[in-house]
Amino acid sequence: MDYENECSCSKGRWIWYPGDFEIYHGMLQNFSREEREFFWPAYWQIDGCRKNVHFQKTYLIEANTQCTVFANCQGYVCINGQKHKFQDQIRIVPGMVKVEVFAGSPDLVPAILVQGEVIYTGAGWMADDFITEPVNAGWNERYRESEQNPAIWEYEEQTIKPVMVAEKNGGTLYDFGTELTAELDVKVLSKTEKGIHKLICYGESQEEAMDTINCYYSETIESLEICLRRRAFRYVFIPETGSEDCILCARHLYVDIPVKAAFYCEDKQINQIWETSVRTFQLCSGIFFIDGVKRDRWIWSGDAYQSYFVNPYVFFDEEINKRTILALRGNDPVRQHINTIVDYSMYWVLGIGKHYEMTADREFLEMIYPRMVTMMEFLESQLDENGFLVGRKNDWIFIDWAEIDKDGPVCAEQMLLAACYHAMNFAAELLGDPNHEYELKYRRLISSINAFYWDVEKQAYIDSYTSGKRHVSRHANIFAILFEIADEKRTTQICRHVLQNEKVPQITTPYFKFYELEVMCLLGKQEEVLKKIRAYWGGMLTQGAVTFWEEYDPAKENGKEYEMYGDPYGKSLCHAWAASPIYLLGRYYIGLKPTSTGYETFEISPNIKMFREISCRLPVKNGSVYVEWRENQLRIETDRDGGSLTYCGNTYPLYKGKAVMIKNNSCETEKE
341 phi and psi angles, rounded to 5 deg:
-105, 125
**Please, are residues 476 and 461 in contact by the beta-carbon 8 Å criterion?**
yes
Q: Is residue 73 assigned to a domain? A: yes
Indicate whether 104 belongs to any domain. yes
656 domain residue, yes or no: yes
Q: Are residues 34 and 126 in the same domain?
A: yes
Closest listed residue to residue 462, CA positions, set 406, 502, 515, 540 = 406
Q: Domain end: 235, 254, 273, which one?
A: 254
CA angle 340, 341, 347 (to 5 degrees): 125
Does the pLDDT at position 669 exceed 80?
no
Q: Which of 387, 390, 526, 412 is nearest to 462 (CA)?
A: 412
- Alpha-carbon distance of 172 to 199, in angstroms, equals 11
Closest by Cα among 361, 386, 449 to 413: 449
Number of domains into which the chain is organized: 3
Read off the pLDDT band of 2 (50, 70, 90).
Answer: very low
Q: Are 130 and 174 contained in the same domain?
A: no
Q: The CATH number of the domain where 595 resides is what?
A: 2.60.420
Q: In this structure, is residue 170 part of a structural domain?
A: yes
Residues 468-523 have pLDDT tens digits of: 999 999 999 999 999 999 999 999 999 999 999 999 999 999 999 999 999 999 99
Contact 292, 284 (CB under 8 A): yes
Radius of gyration of the chain, Cα coordinates, nearest whole angstrom: 27
**Together in a domain, 181 and 219:** yes
Please return the burial class of 220, using the count of CB atoms within 10 Å of its CB with bins 0-12, 13-18 and 19+.
Answer: exposed
Residues 131 and 185 in one domain: no
DSSP secondary structure string, 516-560? Answer: HHHHHHHTT-HHHHHHHHHHHHHHHHHTT-SS--S---TTSPTT-
Whether the pLDDT of residue 566 is over 50: the answer is: yes
Tell me the pLDDT tens digit for each residue of 442-477: 999 999 999 999 999 999 999 999 999 999 999 999
Q: 90 and 166, same structural domain?
A: no
pLDDT per residue over 584-602, tens digit each? 999 999 999 999 999 999 9
Q: Is 132 exposed, middle or buried (0-12, 13-18, 19+ CB in 10 A)?
A: exposed
In a domain, 259, yes or no: no
State how far Cα 89 lies from the chain centre: 42
The residues, any chain, with a CB within 8 Å of residue 465's CB and separated by 6 or more, are 408, 452, 453
Find the mean pLDDT for residues 106-121.
Answer: 96
One-character DSSP codes across 243-278: TTTEEEEEEEEE-------EEEES-HHHHHHHHHHH
pTM greater than 0.75: yes
- Residues 401-414, buried b or exposed e (16+ Cβ, 10 A)? ebebbbeebbbbbb
User: Do residues 291 and 575 make contact, with C-beta atoms less than 8 angstroms apart?
Assistant: yes
Residue 598: count other Cβ atoms within 10 Å of its Cβ.
18
Q: Is the pLDDT of residue 197 over 70?
A: yes
Is residue 30 located within the same domain as residue 129? yes
114 shares a domain with 179: no
**Contact 1/12 with Cβ under 8 angstroms?**
no
Q: Is 486 a member of any domain?
A: no
DSSP string spanning 16-61?
Answer: BSTTHHHHHHHHHHTT--EETTEE---SS------SEEEEEEEEEE
pLDDT, mean over the chain:
95
Residues 244 and 215 in one domain: yes
Q: pLDDT by residue (tens digit) across 390-439? A: 999 999 999 999 999 999 999 999 999 999 999 999 999 999 998 889 99
Q: What is the pLDDT of residue 4?
A: 37
**Rounded CA separation 361/352 (Å):** 10
Q: Cβ neighbours of residue 566 under 8 Å, at least 6 residues apart? A: none
108 and 170 fall within a common domain: no
Q: Give the end of a domain, one of 212, 229, 254.
A: 254
Cβ 305 vs Cβ 351: under 8 Å: yes
Positive/negative CA dihedral, 514, 516, 517, 523: positive
Examine the domain organization and report whether 129 and 24 are in the same domain.
yes
pLDDT attached to residue 318: 98
Q: CB–CB of 225/188 below 8 Å?
A: yes
pLDDT in tens, 160-177: 999 999 999 999 999 999
| Of residues 121, 74, 84, 81, the one with CA closest to residue 98 | 81
Q: Please tell me the predicted confidence (pLDDT) of residue 10.
A: 55
627 membership: H or E segment, kind and range: strand 623-630
What pLDDT is stored for residue 5 in this prediction?
Answer: 38
What is the end-to-end Cα distance of the chain in Å, rounded? 37
Q: Domain containing 658: what range? A: 590-669
Q: Please check whether residues 66 and 166 belong to one and the same domain.
A: no
Domain boundary among 108, 136, 164: 136
Residue 274 domain flag: no
Look at residue 193 in the predicted model and tell me its pLDDT.
60
**Of 380, 361, 360, which is closest to residue 372 (Cα–Cα)?**
380
Is there a domain that residue 324 lies in?
no
> Domain check: are 173 and 99 in the same one?
no
Please say whether the beta carbons of 50 and 126 come within 8 A. Answer: no
The domain that holds 233 is classified in CATH as 2.60.120.260
